[in-house]
A and B are shown apart, each in its own frame.
Chain A
């Protein structure tokens, strides 16, 4: 009896979950479908769901007309560069706070968190003027720098929460055996920290890839990453839905894959360890 109820519940909740999941995912699916239609079919009423003339010409056109690879390369360099630099600065900082905490460590951590709370629009004017003065507008290095600073608090926080979980006894044992701090770092700490490092890297790549305030305001063409590239499709005269869809699919595909791998770490990273 109880078993039957459970089975029935399972069927109902499975059906409901799949339906809701499908509805939430639908806009993305619809976009991917539209990217394989001709412009006419993408615009057609009634819409065709699967039985249309599948074509990949939009993808070719998007590359030819607006140089997708140029912007994709910018995205890779900017998101990758800012994340790597942030990691290089954050790893020592998080390591020191996790393994040699002082009375002030908690305050330092909370202060770092509070810098993330500053709305970017609050400092848009000075940053824009500084960038203009130093010729950093529309440069990759300018964007790398600002995205690196913007994500630094999150990177430090995530690494800190991971490092804190590494048992200290192991380090003490290594120290007893006469390991120097350098050896300790390389042979003991690093292997245990790799999962945490990897998920921090992944989450911040995603955040930097999708960042759309500084990229829209500080770059126009040369250094413009995919966020800006897509925004250029917003002009009414450029209403080419199939091409917009193809460009969008290309812009989100790589990050969607990475995102799916890192979804479990997402919660931890974005809540600063408040929800585990």
Chain B
């Protein structure tokens, strides 16, 4: 009797959250699918008409789509590579005996808490400005020509800024994982005369495989839709050089007011994200059973 009551109560308590999330998932998505089949431009009201898959054909064959897909993949891949290749040694370093570790940790984690618009603008102006930026001054000190970051290597500049934001995240997760590594195992390996390198390869690295996977999946989810950093620095330019899928859809929706095409693009973005989400959900799900 009591359990039945509890069950009923439990279900009642769960319902609002489930209902809200369900609506949040279904309604906009259904509308996106519906708009994607329409010719619908906000600048041309009253001309809405059903066009079937025309918008998808238009969006997918648009040279801007291929360019922005490529930019998206380069951006996600580069940031992942940078944050993990730097994050592993950094986490290993912070796992050592360091005097004042808590302060170092604070300094390392700080960029993650800086809002994207601030980090993008501070990097673009104070650091990367071709004349008065700090990097230009440092280059000058070494007798090198200053780099005009956002003209000569716009996508790389954006990648650099985003990597700075996400390096703390990767480091912190890897560090947390390292700290749960069994010390005795490492000590035993040392006793058996294993070198630091083989301890790293045969004990530490396998232990990091899972957290690295988690970092890759979670960063990918967020990096696929990077927006603010591009919005305040390059506006997608020059040309299409820093336009990613998210920015392309934004510009079609809110600059060209082409609702139909932007919706088709939105669905393409949803499909891309779902491919990644599929793997992440499986990993988390496995963990839930343990």
Q: Are both chains from one complex?
A: yes
Q: Which residues of B contact A128 (CB under 8 A)?
A: 253-254
A-B pairs under 8 A by CB, number: 314
The smallest C-beta distance from B108 to any residue of chain A, in angstroms, reads 5
Q: Which of B105, B224, B277, B284 contacts A263 (CB 8 A)?
A: B105
CA distance A206 to B9 in the complex (A): 32
Is B51 part of the contact surface with A, judged by Cβ < 8 Å? no
Q: Which residues of B contact A95 (CB under 8 A)?
A: 13
What 0/1 readout, one digit per residue, does chain B (60-104) give for beta carbons within 8 Å of chain A?
000000000000000000000000000000100110111111011
Whether the pair A256, B21 counts as a contact (CB closer than 8 A) is: no
The smallest C-beta distance from B149 to any residue of chain A, in angstroms, reads 14
Q: Which of B99, B134, B253, B273 contacts A30 (CB 8 A)?
A: B134
Q: Which of A9, A14, A28 contacts B114 (CB 8 A)?
A: A28
What 0/1 readout, one digit per residue, does chain A (75-117) give for beta carbons within 8 Å of chain B?
0000000000000011011011101101000101111111111
The smallest C-beta distance from B37 to any residue of chain A, in angstroms, reads 13
CA distance A65 to B231 in the complex (A): 23
The smallest C-beta distance from A188 to any residue of chain B, in angstroms, reads 15
Residue of A nearest to B225 (CB): A119
Is A186 part of the contact surface with B, judged by Cβ < 8 Å? no
Is A1 part of the contact surface with B, judged by Cβ < 8 Å? no
Using C-beta atoms within 8 Å of the partner chain, give the interface range for chain B: 35 or more
Interface-located stretch among A15-23, A50-58, A191-199: A15-23
A217-272, CB < 8 A from B? 217, 226-228, 230-231, 233-234, 239, 241, 244-245, 248, 251-252, 255-256, 258-260, 263, 266-267, 270-272
CA distance A22 to B132 in the complex (A): 22
Q: Which B residues are closer than 8 A to A by beta carbons?
A: 6-7, 9-11, 13-14, 16-18, 20-21, 24-25, 27-29, 31-32, 35, 90, 93-94, 96-101, 103-119, 121-123, 125-127, 131-132, 134, 136-137, 140, 164, 167-169, 172-173, 176-177, 180, 210-211, 214, 218, 221, 224-225, 227-228, 231-233, 245-246, 249-250, 253-254, 259, 262-263, 266-267, 269-270, 272-274, 276-277, 280-281, 283-285, 287-289
24 contacts across the A-B interface (CB closer than 8 A): A13-B97, A13-B98, A14-B100, A16-B93, A24-B110, A31-B118, A93-B13, A97-B14, A106-B285, A113-B281, A118-B29, A121-B266, A122-B29, A123-B31, A124-B254, A126-B263, A152-B20, A216-B227, A251-B115, A260-B113, A263-B105, A263-B106, A266-B112, A271-B214
Q: Which A residues are closer than 8 A to B by beta carbons?
A: 6, 9-10, 13-14, 16-18, 20-22, 24-25, 27-28, 30-31, 34, 42-47, 89-90, 92-93, 95-97, 99-100, 102, 106, 108-130, 149, 152-153, 156, 181, 206, 209-210, 212-213, 216-217, 226-228, 230-231, 233-234, 239, 241, 244-245, 248, 251-252, 255-256, 258-260, 263, 266-267, 270-276
